[in-house]
Amino acid sequence: MKLQIVIGSTREGRKSLQFSKWIESSARDLEDVEVEMVDLVDFDLPLFNEAVSPRYNPDRKVEGDVKKFLDKLAEADGYVFVTPEYNHSLSGVLKNALDYTAYELNRKPAAVATHGSVGGARAAEHLKMILSECQAVIVPINLHFNHFIAGNIDEEGNLIKELKELQYGPHTTVNTMLNDLVWYAKALKAAK
């Protein structure tokens, strides 16, 4: 089974990268699961301006990085979408990337992992609504990282010892979220 972690911030010095690395390292012990990072930095996605909505365009032909991005998403059985909170919502780059999708996320589970001053809670609510419209199945457990990333997760994606020692810390939430994501991915794959 293939899971992808989609990194929803592309700015220089982004904290989402180390946050995503920590999620990836937490997913390493999952059985029979291959985890891949999908970094929006690697795709040149212009602001969406197709004349017809992707899901209502049977003649749609995508090329270049848009095709590369959509083909990549299509490979996965499930996703973790990572976004910071920008102005009480998800990042513009992630929203733009999702606007390109047609059927790539259909009936596949999507978990949401956010960060920001209130754990990216407002970004998560918006992102879940958007992913649902993209035909994904939303994993109910959200990962809201409500500590500053700097000082709590290092550049390599290691969580500090103090947080690891908390009885109900972010490491327990990330594991619950990932286990649920795998559960939904297996169930949905079997149903197909």
Ligand X SMILES: Cc1cc2nc3c(=O)[nH]c(=O)nc-3n(C[C@H](O)[C@H](O)[C@H](O)COP(=O)(O)O)c2cc1C
Residues that bind ligand X (CB under 6 A): 9, 11, 14-16, 84-88, 116-118
Q: Closest approach of Cβ 107 to ligand X, in Å? A: 29
CB of 158 to ligand X, least distance (A): 17
Minimum gap (Å) between residue 123 Cβ and ligand X: 8
Please tell me what DSSP assigns to residue 160: P
**Closer CB to ligand X, 4 or 77, in the complex:** 4
Choose among 20, 26, 6: nearest CA to 171.
26
User: Minimum CB separation from ligand X for residue 183, in Å?
Assistant: 28
What minimum distance in Å lies between the beta carbon of 87 and ligand X?
5
Half-sphere exposure of 123 (CA within 13 A, CB side): 28
Cβ-based neighbour number of residue 2 at 10 Å:
13
H or E element in which residue 125 lies: helix 121-133
Cβ–Cβ < 8 Å for 156, 18: yes
Q: Rg (Cα) of the chain, in Å, rounded? A: 16
Nearer to ligand X, 30 or 118 (CB): 118
**Smallest distance, Å, CB 124 to ligand X?**
11
Residue carrying the six token digits 């297996």: 186
Q: Is the CB of 86 or the CB of 100 nearer to ligand X?
A: 86
Residues linked to residue 35 through DSSP beta bridges, in sequence order? 3
Of 14 and 108, the one with the shorter C-beta distance to ligand X is 14
Cα–Cα separations (whole angstroms), residue 172 to 46, 75, 88: 37, 28, 25
Residue closer to ligand X (CB basis): 79 or 184: 79
Of 15 and 108, which has the nearer Cβ to ligand X?
15
How far is residue 128 CA from its own chain's centroid? 11
